Amino acid sequence: MHAILQTMKKADEIATELLLAADIKIDGKRPQDIKVHDKRLFARVLRDGDLGLGEAYMDGWWSANQLDQFFCNVLSANLMDTVKLTPSLVAAAVSAKLFNQQTTGRTKSDLSHHYDIGNDLYEKMLDARMIYSCAYWKDAKTLDQAQEAKLDLVCRKLGFKKGMTVLDIGCGWGGFAKYAAQHCGVKVTGITPAKEQVAYAKKNTKGLDVKILQKDYRDMSGSFDRIVSIGMLEHVGGKNYKTFFDACNDMLAPGGMMLHHTIGGTVKYDPRTAQWMRKYIFPGTYLPTLGDISKAVERTFAIEDVHNLGPDYDKTLMAWHKKFVASYPTLDHDRYDERFYLMWEYYLLICAGLFRSHGLQLWQIVFRRQEPAATYKSVR
């Protein structure tokens, strides 16, 4: 027993020193400060890293005055890089390196894990158009305005003209397809493997020149003037980028353009730092670097424009969190119990902290084939 107490004391001391390095105090009153409700927290985090930290939050072992700011401080100080590398994390890293974790079957399962949990949750949390990706806040004051501004921005970047054919890869609940068909007069084909999204998107776009299909991009064919994916590339997987962009090349009509709106990082993806997110939120996620994308399109596409909207995602996530918290009492608590509430809050606010600390970015990237074309004029 004495040895165990000594180990806990050591973990306590180590954790306190690490937190102070990030300007975080236990039982402090500032936004980034935390409260510890179970002293076993420290040993758990030192043992299990980010997975232990997240699960301990879901178990009620700790809380923060402002979780998003806590994570901003933690991430800015690179604290998770100092946490012990355990055998389970080594195994996860080796698995991600050796095996393709985004096969067609696994991608469908992973997307269902997140997007098929219930449309009612997303209806309460998102904007009126059900857009589940970074909004554009340049001139917007509300979430609805910011999401409509993002849709308009994408359409302008791709130079939509009436009658054009558009492929929307990962079409979600059909918000972009509906907007583009209504406002630009284009013909949209939207694809997603998530069945709940397909059912909703079909109703959402009824009466418009929009076709919604439950398909993976690897099973799609055809020719389109424009291709767009908004929040899809994160689910493709690094080992599949060449396959993904080759598929886009096969389906893009001569003289066509495409835009991919994706979360990305400045350093190579490291599975050690995303165990909680991969277990509870996005099982198959892989976040690209600009280098990953550039390498995948070598000799095929020219990158015409890169626009970083990372700070806009911080604001978007905080808006989602505010709506989620306000609407939670109206949700079915048999399906969305208290543990789910803590999990979902943790997910939204750790992501806000990631973007606030510039640990993640959000890029809109415009591509054209490597062939003669008029000068592309960037749109903002």
User: What single string gives the DSSP state of each residue in 41-81?
Assistant: HHHHHHHHHHHHHHHHHHTTSEEESSHHHHHHHHHHTTGGG
Measured from the Cβ of residue 251, the count of other Cβ atoms closer than 10 Å reads 19
Active site residue 155: no
Give residue 368's Cα distance to chain centre. Answer: 25
CA distances from 185 to 129, 130, 180, 297 (A): 18, 21, 7, 30
Decide if 81 contacts 218 (C-beta within 8 A).
no
Helices and strands of the chain, counted as H and E runs: 14, 9
Distance in angstroms (rounded) separating the CA atoms of residues 211 and 254: 22
- Comparing CA positions, the residue from 38, 40, 36, 35 lying closest to residue 4 is 40
Decide if 21 contacts 56 (C-beta within 8 A).
no
Angle, helices 41-58/2-21, rounded to nearest 10 degrees:
70
- Comparing CA positions, the residue from 229, 176, 167, 173 lying closest to residue 202 is 173
Residues in the chain: 380
Q: Which of 155, 171, 248, 351 is catalytic?
A: 351
Q: Which residues contact 239 (CB under 8 A, 6 or more apart)?
A: 100, 102
Decide if 131 contacts 151 (C-beta within 8 A).
yes
List the catalytic residues.
351
